[in-house]
Structure 1
Amino acid sequence: MATTRESNLTTLYVELNRFGQNGEYERALKTANKILQNFPDEEKAFHCKVVCFIQLSRFHDGLKAIVNQPKLSGDLVFEKAYCQYRLNQPQEALKTINSVTQLSLKLKELKAQILYRLERYEECFDAYRDITKNTTDDYEDERETNLAAVVANLCLEGSNKDIPQLRDHTYELSYNSSCQLIGRKQYNEAEKKLKVSEKLCRESLEDDGTAEDEIEDELGIIKVQLAYCLHKQGREKEAQAIYTAALKQKPDDIGLVAIASNNMVVINKDQNVFDSKKKMKSATSEGLEHKLTSRQRKNIALNHCLLALYTNQGEQCQQLCEKLVSTYPDMAAEAALIRATQLAKDGKAKEAAVILDKESKHDEEKKLAMKLAAVQLLLAEGDRKEACRVLQNLGEATFKPGIVGALVTLYLADGSRDGASKVLKDAVDWYRKNKVSTGDLGTLWRQAADFHLRGGEPAVAAKSLEELLRINPGDKKTLAQLVIAYAQFEPAKAQALSKQLPPLDFTQNTDVDALETSNWMMGTKVIKKAAAKVEPSPGSKPGTPGDELIQKKKTKRKRKGKLPKNYDANTIPDPERWLPRHERSGYRKKKDRRNKDVGKGTQGAATGASDQYDITKMQTQQSKVSPNPNSPIQLETTGPRQQQRKVQQKKKKGGKR
């Protein structure tokens, strides 16, 4: 009987081995169950059963079998952790692996994958470095590809870890290399790498005999990443065309669809909102939590809030912002800005300012940006006093030159010169006390000094001038201003300091006459009058100017007028030469058969009206204007007129011109 049982067991194992080698895992699973039914303690059969579950992607059944049979699954740590990993339980999978003291190669690789899923990239990087150094087999390219993916994420996070130079001889490695360049914001170089990756991918798959549809599916992720590079370079139309083409392919990867859809929403901004709504539904569909990184999901959630803001959906915008903060607490500042913007659009600027002011207390990094946003909203409502209060409660940031300038401007706009003076005093005292160097403060000192000098506060102005002189020791202008300031409240100090000013000597190399005749203070009319009163030279008669003042009168050369060719100087010109021919006395009028009494004159003029245009019959009249200076001056009411085109008469065929 024992021999028969052993022979049956051997036969079943042979059958199980054959099914496993042929990839017939359903039949292999049935055989493993037969063995376990007859021989419940067979660990190998149980192991084969779990492997069949994994090969059939029945991870839940495999994990359940391992948990229900602790005696038979004592050594199945890898299988248990793998099932947990595939069931999106990375934390439990990592605990299962960490329960083992000595990790095998496959457990190390699985741990590295789990760390990558948990976005613990620095630990993952160390794990892959250890595996690649201590392992030599046929999977080196795959491990190097995974390591390149980890490095790309480290670059995106701005890690300072020492990153090795990896190869890029395959399209996967070239793609990951481009992702590293994107993390360093080198988009132009990344674009070139992606084009190389696309070429390598097509050539590799075509050599393997892959169908065109499958090639396009594989190229989808490369093209979408290329579109992102173009988008970041400002080439939005090219990027949009690639995104649209990628979505038309209807890829099976929902993560790729979500990223392309989100980026399309970003390009649309506040335009084409109906298309953006459709795209946002694809970007926020279920099942993406395990396909996208937390950074990608966070950006999509933020864009969803912005889309609600653009479409004026106030309630939905507020709800989405609250959800964003609850899911990603580090996005509280961005959510507060969006909520405040929505409230401001709804006419609730003061409520928006309260939200920003409240949220700024919890985020020191973005405190200044949020406070300034609140100030902008308050100023839009015309509440300058509250805006000044917010700016003065910024801590050390209140003394930044830009904030000081804004406060001074606001106080002066409200007519509070004392408030502006106090702001400048506090800024000067703070910089003198802390000796903080925040770039060129010369403008601040100069403006503060001028302000206090004009306001009658020479002592305060002197402090600013002292700091300005300390920055530029050789500035004579500042030194002179400081002497003026000291002279008003401390004359002895002003006297001592004035000795550092350069001496004024006008006796050497100075032309007094040139200074007197120069127009740096006097006008040109005063100079001409002074020149006319020059004393005569010795020996000249009184009342006659000297020889050096004799000026030749410049006579303008007149041109001779042109005369007709048949001009005769002995004959008297015809007095009617300026009249039209039909108005001259010798013109023979044509008889009018209809009415003999009607004469022809100028158009619109009565008979005999030509006499008033006859120069020989016109009376000379005196039309001088009274030179009374008290008479009102009349200004022209019409502006400059446009030059009118002269109308030329067309020639008649066969007629005289």
Structure 2
Amino acid sequence: MAASIKSLSALLAQATIDDHEESLQTANAAIKKSKTDTQAHHVRAVALLHLDRFDDALKVFEGVKELQETARFHYAYTLYKTGNAAKAVEVAGAEIENAARGMKHVLAQAAYRSENFAQASRVYRGLANQGAETEEYDIRINSGATDAQLEWFGQGELAQKKKPAREDLDVFETAYNAACASIARGEFAQGDICLKRAIDRCNEVEDMSDAEKKAEILPMKVQQVYILTQMGKVDEAEQLAAAIPFTEIKELSTRHIAQVNGIAASKEHSNPYLSHRLFHSSPKPSKTDQYFSFQTNLLRQDEYVINLLSQKSSGVAFSTEKVISAAPTPSLSPAVNMAAVLNAAAHARSAPTEKAALKQILPLLEKRPTDVGLILTITHLYVLTGNYAAATHLLESFFARLSHSGSASNLDVRFAPGLVATLVSLYVQQGRPGAARSELSKAAEYWGKPHKSKTEAPSKALLVAAGTALLDTHNQDNAKTAGEIFKGLYNQDNEDRAAIAGLVAAYSVTDSSSIPSDLTSILPEASRLVSDIDAVALEDAGVPALALPSQPSESRKRAAPKSIPSKAKRIRKARMPKEFDPNKKMDAERWLPMRDRSYYRPKGRKGKKRAEGFTQGGIEEKAPVQQQQGSGGTKGGKKKGKGRK
């Protein structure tokens, strides 16, 4: 033991920060003498980490199990750098309460890479509150990147910032993160402004070489192509994409995304077979340079679409079927539901109409009755054909099956915000506000209960919509429920104006005396809200005016307008004749038989003769009338022919 300590002391004495190769050689020499020297193995692992030989460092930790406990920080960092972020989170988070700042940074980075952005945000918030001036800049950059990812993953309510501050646009890293967050929220114009600011700020940095600036700016331009495409500026996007040197982008994942965006923005790549070849021409990224799951889903979706355009429907159907069958149903996974939508498209085989597509897809519902992606696809096709009742019935039946199952995971799907919003939209389309309010109320009640859910937090948009719908009923009990909803939102964020306004509105119905003054002071004054309203214009437009006490009741009545021009009734095309001329005045008597029309004039002797029987009094005809001779018949009449009656 003494020899081991002596050799380690000599080892550390010779080690320097700048010469990690020498530290590695000394550690190797010590290990040759004693393979059980744990401290020498530790020094060897640290030297390998400094030399960026992460795979070799991982072998050291796997070979010496004791190091995994005694050198937990370096082990977690090694796992993170070798692409095993989930394992790194497990190791770094085991004793995080009493851990040093370095371990917390590793945990935050590993949580970010393993897509646990809520945990990463909490760790960065804690590091910022603890205070460290030397780390303030790095924490601000990493927190901004985490906020952007939360927006992409539909958890924007957990983001620390919803809008970029002025200081965020002063540095290119934070400006780029602000641009990404704006893009994730669908605010493309704001994202474009932030992105241009980031490129300008990067070019202004003095302590960076031109090569370093180019390496930072290229990914920003790739993002700019996406923004221009989403804004409909396809020509600008195509021009910018053509100017990006794809081969100079170091990260292979970014290079592939750049090439895919270039295909999407290019008019020259209208040939699907050429696009298919270009799509698969990029080299695959390493395991430490992987896409985030939402990027993987989009790229896989692009691949399936290109395959469908290349007449590879059978291959797409087979591939997507494997993805669907490998996952439990029902599922809220974007990858699984996207595969279900494209599986339906593959079975439709480019059907010419929505009804034809439904005929091909509906049989799949018998095999996969709980497939969320398939059900939403059929719902969408029903809406396109105008069959809102069938779309509503399909979703209601699906929800009923999930509710009766009693499974916690099934109920999470049943009350998923997106599915609830779809059914509520169908109710609104059909003029059923009561059903919409009932559905929102059920969803708010479900997410308000404490239960183990897959979702980190219930959707804020869903809760706000539910609370607002309950307030619109003007019912005391519903207002109380709405107050509980907005109270929960206020406890999460006491600066949320939607929560404050809802809470005040609910209190005003249930107990107006208990409204805290600090809440009403935050809301804008009523005079400010109605400052741009013209009361006279509203009265002239037909808003009834209140009568003064001295006025008789008749003064409140308004005279009807003298003449209201009748709006021409629109005739459907199916009811129009083939040679219909809309400019020609239609005959008012067109529904009467020709002989009953006022302008009818029979032609010829026989026609005039027939007209005699049609006239009912008034007009004397000069035609000869047959005279009667008693009761014995006619005089001078011709004898009837044989067989005629």
TM-score, normalised via structure 1 length = 0.53
* Superposition deviation, residue 12 in structure 1: 4.5
Per the alignment, residue 119 of structure 2 pairs with 123
Larger Rg: 1
Distance 1:182 1:29, change over 3 A: same
Output one character per residue of 1:101-123: Cα deviation in whole Å (capped at 9) or x when no partner: 62211111111111111111111
* Superposition deviation, residue 46 in structure 1: 3.1
Which AA in structure 2 matches 1:54? L
Per the alignment, residue 340 of structure 1 pairs with 347
Per the alignment, residue 353 of structure 1 pairs with 361
**Which residue of 340, 347, 370 maps to 1:362?**
370
Which AA in structure 1 matches 2:158? K
Partner secondary structure for residue 21 of structure 1: coil
Which AA in structure 2 matches 1:114? A
Matched, 1:394 2:394: yes
* Superposition deviation, residue 175 in structure 1: 0.4
Partner secondary structure for residue 349 of structure 2: helix
Asked if 2 retains the 8 angstrom alpha-carbon contact of 1:255 and 1:292, the reply is yes
Asked if 2 retains the 8 angstrom alpha-carbon contact of 1:257 and 1:282, the reply is no
Which AA in structure 1 matches 2:291? L
Which AA in structure 2 matches 1:97? A
Write the distance in 2 (CA, Å) between the matches of 1:367 and 1:203.
52
Per the alignment, residue 624 of structure 2 pairs with none
Distance 1:188 1:522, change over 3 A: closer
Per the alignment, residue 241 of structure 2 pairs with 243
- Greater length-normalized contact order (CA 8 Å, ≥ 6 residues apart): 2
Which AA in structure 1 matches 2:17? Q
- Equivalent runs, 1:310-459 vs 2, <5 Å: 310-325=309-324, 326=326, 328-342=335-349, 344=351, 352-358=360-366, 361-363=369-371, 367=375, 369-371=377-379, 373=381, 394=394, 436=435
Write the distance in 2 (CA, Å) between the matches of 1:132 and 1:45.
36
Distance 1:289 1:44, change over 3 A: closer
Asked if 1 retains the 8 angstrom alpha-carbon contact of 2:152 and 2:184, the reply is yes
- Equivalent runs, 1:140-155 vs 2, <5 Å: 140-155=136-151
Output one character per residue of 1:337-365: Cα deviation in whole Å (capped at 9) or x when no partner: 32233264799967722355347732458
- Equivalent runs, 1:89-238 vs 2, <5 Å: 89-100=84-95, 102-158=98-154, 159-161=156-158, 163-164=160-161, 167-168=167-168, 169-204=170-205, 207-208=206-207, 210=209, 212-238=210-236
Output one character per residue of 1:59-107: Cα deviation in whole Å (capped at 9) or x when no partner: 2322232233344664200111111112221222222223336221111
Write the distance in 1 (CA, Å) between the matches of 2:68 and 2:388.
71
Per the alignment, residue 66 of structure 1 pairs with 61
Distance 1:202 1:397, change over 3 A: same
* Superposition deviation, residue 333 in structure 1: 3.4
Write the distance in 1 (CA, Å) between the matches of 2:55 and 2:588.
100
Write the distance in 1 (CA, Å) between the matches of 2:48 and 2:133.
27
Write the distance in 2 (CA, Å) between the matches of 1:126 and 1:216.
33
Write the distance in 1 (CA, Å) between the matches of 2:259 and 2:225.
12
Asked if 1 retains the 8 angstrom alpha-carbon contact of 2:362 and 2:378, the reply is no
Asked if 1 retains the 8 angstrom alpha-carbon contact of 2:72 and 2:92, the reply is yes
Per the alignment, residue 614 of structure 2 pairs with none
Asked if 2 retains the 8 angstrom alpha-carbon contact of 1:152 and 1:180, the reply is yes
Distance 1:289 1:199, change over 3 A: same
Partner secondary structure for residue 394 of structure 1: helix
Output one character per residue of 1:23-75: Cα deviation in whole Å (capped at 9) or x when no partner: x3222211122234446675543332111111223223222322333446642
* Superposition deviation, residue 262 in structure 1: 2.1
Output one character per residue of 1:269-322: Cα deviation in whole Å (capped at 9) or x when no partner: 982324412332146835478421100110110111111111212233323433
Which AA in structure 1 matches 2:194? K
Asked if 1 retains the 8 angstrom alpha-carbon contact of 2:54 and 2:82, the reply is yes
Structure 2: tracts of 5 or more residues without a match? 328-334, 399-426, 438-561, 563-586, 590-601, 606-645
Distance 1:120 1:286, change over 3 A: same
Asked if 2 retains the 8 angstrom alpha-carbon contact of 1:41 and 1:72, the reply is no
TM-score, normalised via structure 2 length = 0.54
Asked if 2 retains the 8 angstrom alpha-carbon contact of 1:343 and 1:351, the reply is no
Write the distance in 1 (CA, Å) between the matches of 2:286 and 2:195.
28
Output one character per residue of 1:353-395: Cα deviation in whole Å (capped at 9) or x when no partner: 2355347732458735414537989x9xxxxxxx999679536
Write the distance in 2 (CA, Å) between the matches of 1:142 and 1:45.
33
Output one character per residue of 1:171-192: Cα deviation in whole Å (capped at 9) or x when no partner: 0000001111112211112111
Distance 1:342 1:42, change over 3 A: same
Per the alignment, residue 624 of structure 1 pairs with none
Distance 1:32 1:388, change over 3 A: closer
- Equivalent runs, 1:475-490 vs 2, <5 Å: none
Write the distance in 1 (CA, Å) between the matches of 2:94 and 2:257.
37
Asked if 2 retains the 8 angstrom alpha-carbon contact of 1:357 and 1:371, the reply is no
Per the alignment, residue 292 of structure 1 pairs with 291
Asked if 2 retains the 8 angstrom alpha-carbon contact of 1:322 and 1:335, the reply is no
Per the alignment, residue 270 of structure 2 pairs with 271
Distance 1:43 1:353, change over 3 A: closer
Partner secondary structure for residue 138 of structure 1: helix
Write the distance in 2 (CA, Å) between the matches of 1:312 and 1:73.
52
Write the distance in 2 (CA, Å) between the matches of 1:12 and 1:287.
35
Write the distance in 2 (CA, Å) between the matches of 1:435 and 1:40.
76
Write the distance in 2 (CA, Å) between the matches of 1:121 and 1:255.
20
Per the alignment, residue 26 of structure 1 pairs with 21
Partner secondary structure for residue 160 of structure 1: helix
Which AA in structure 2 matches 1:121? F
Per the alignment, residue 260 of structure 1 pairs with 258
- Equivalent runs, 1:639-654 vs 2, <5 Å: none
Structure 1: tracts of 5 or more residues without a match? 380-386, 399-426, 439-508, 510-520, 524-627, 632-657
Matched, 1:307 2:306: yes
Per the alignment, residue 496 of structure 2 pairs with none
Write the distance in 2 (CA, Å) between the matches of 1:289 and 1:71.
26
Per the alignment, residue 457 of structure 1 pairs with none
Distance 1:76 1:267, change over 3 A: same
The total of aligned residue pairs comes to 398
